[in-house]
Amino acid sequence: MEQKSVNLSPLNTRLIKHSETEYEILVASSTKELETDIPYTYEGLKIKVSYGDFSPFLAELVLSLSRCVEYVENDH
């Protein structure tokens, strides 16, 4: 079986243990567009990656920060 490398930062993730062999990695992001239903397997474990953790809060934060641009002196 071919092993894939997944580029995830531990700074914006949480891990949920559903059973002894099934885990879910929640990635904090403002959208769920990168959601995939294909679980990864690693050493007999099934690992699903889910995007959009804290999405309501992060979407509001992105909106607020985008509104701040008109009030900053250097906007580039």
Instruction: Name the one residue in this structure whose structure tokens are 């930062």.
Output: 9
Q: Which structural domain, as residue segments, surrounds residue 49?
A: 10-71
pLDDT on residue 45: 94
Is residue 47 domain-resident? yes
**How many folded domains does the chain comprise?**
1
Q: Is residue 20 part of a domain?
A: yes
What burial letters (b/e) apply to 23-57, b meaning 16+ CB within 10 Å?
bbbbbbbbeeeeeeeeeeeeeeeeebbbbbbeeee
pTM for the full predicted model: 0.69
The whole-number pLDDT of residue 7 equals 76
Quote the pLDDT of residue 24.
Answer: 93
Report yes or no on 5 lying in a domain: no
User: Average pLDDT of each block of 10 consecutive residues along the chain (76 residues)?
Assistant: 67 94 90 73 90 88 88 70
In this predicted structure, what is the pLDDT of residue 22? 95
